[in-house]
Amino acid sequence: MIRVNPDIFTTVLTGIEQSRQQSNNLLEQVASGRRVNAYSDDPAASATMVYNRAQSSLNDQFTRNISDLKAVLQTGDSAMSSAVTALTRALTLGIQGANGTLSDTDRQALAAEVDGIQQQMLSIANSSVSGNYIFSGTNVSTPAFVADAASASGVRYQGNSGVNSLELQPGQTTAINIPGSQLFTSAAGNVFQALNDLKTSLSSNGDVAGAVSSVRTAMNEVSGQRSFYGQVINQMDAASNALAQDKVRLQSQENDLTGADLAKVATDLSQTQITQNALMAAAGKVSQYTLFDFLK
């Protein structure tokens, strides 16, 4: 005689238990919105998410760096703009002064205005943002230029030639400052020297035309150097956009790897419920009677 396992309840209970376990897992997915919670739910996805999070937090930092520094670059750009304006004015004065018909008094008046422009230029060259002098190279606690009567150009450079580089986004670095010595007092065009020469030549009726020529050279040099700031700002904007797009990619990756497919979960959940109910109904029908109920 073939005997079957007389105890069906253990099997039924096991089935119900498994079914409930499945329901619980699915409900947890719904509650958290995530398919993967513990590392063991999907080890490969969990491992990839480590990289995802590292990239994401770096992305945020790059974006913050750009927005913090843009203000500094913009200050630099507008300082250069003011410098060009001031030099344009000096040029005008110089051209006027080159006219041989002017009186001494007139020329003195022009010289006095050029002196004013010199002081303005010194102030521009010593622009600072949040206490850091932006044209001092990396000597940011020291004003870039100081008035020095002993110097031929009337100023002395106190900064250094340090240039800082910044990584805008992964793999893209750019210089973010130009030392004042390169901007204002380089051999290609020395703003302070030119202005000083102009003042001197005007007040002593010297070679004004020559000084005017120097001022023009210096102004062109400053104009040329100024384009640096615009370029870096453009690079920053472009990097910012790229970072934003990458952020979206990372979020999308996160969703793909660990997000719960709620539609599928809902379907699975109702399927599990159906199975569970069928199991219990069947168990109820099968197990009601033993032979004892039928023997008198």
> What element of type H or E holds 204?
helix 191-204
Taking the least distance from each CB to other proteins, the nearer of 76 and 137 is 137
Instruction: Give the C-alpha distances (Å, rounded to integers) separating 98 from 92, 105, 180, 207, 213.
Output: 10, 14, 30, 8, 11
Provide the 8-state DSSP code for 145: E
Q: Per rule CB under 8 A, is residue 42 in the interface with other proteins? A: yes
The token duo for 14 is: 């096991």
Instruction: Give the C-alpha distances (Å, rounded to integers) separating 41 from 6, 22, 31, 250, 251.
Output: 37, 13, 16, 20, 20
Taking the least distance from each CB to other proteins, the nearer of 7 and 100 is 7
* Among 215, 181, 206, 202, CA closest to 88: 215
Q: How far is the CB of 28 from other proteins (least distance, A)?
A: 12
Residue-wise DSSP of 88-142: HHHHHHHHHHT-TT--HHHHHHHHHHHHHHHHHHHHHHT-EETTEETTSTT-TTS
Q: Per rule CB under 8 A, is residue 140 in the interface with other proteins? A: yes
Q: Per rule CB under 8 A, is residue 132 in the interface with other proteins? A: yes
* Contacts of other proteins in 149-168 (CB under 8 A): 160, 162, 164-167
**Percent of the chain that is helix, strand, coil (3-state, to 5):** 70, 10, 25
Question: Site mask, other proteins, residues 62-101, x = CB under 8 A?
Answer: x-xx--xx--------------------------------
| Among residues 3, 100, 105, 150, the one that binds other proteins under rule CB under 8 A | 3
Q: How far is the CB of 252 from other proteins (least distance, A)?
A: 16
Nearest 10 degrees: Cα torsion 170, 172, 173, 175: -140
Taking the least distance from each CB to other proteins, the nearer of 47 and 209 is 47
Question: Site mask, other proteins, residues 255-294, x = CB under 8 A?
Answer: ---x-------------------------------xxx--
Provide the 8-state DSSP code for 49: H
Q: How far is the CB of 80 from other proteins (least distance, A)?
A: 19
Q: Per rule CB under 8 A, is residue 7 in the interface with other proteins? A: yes
Q: How far is the CB of 185 from other proteins (least distance, A)?
A: 19
Q: Name the residues that contact other proteins, by CB under 8 A.
A: 3-7, 10-11, 14, 34, 36-51, 53-54, 57-58, 60-62, 64-65, 68-69, 130, 132, 136-141, 160, 162, 164-167, 258, 290-292, 295
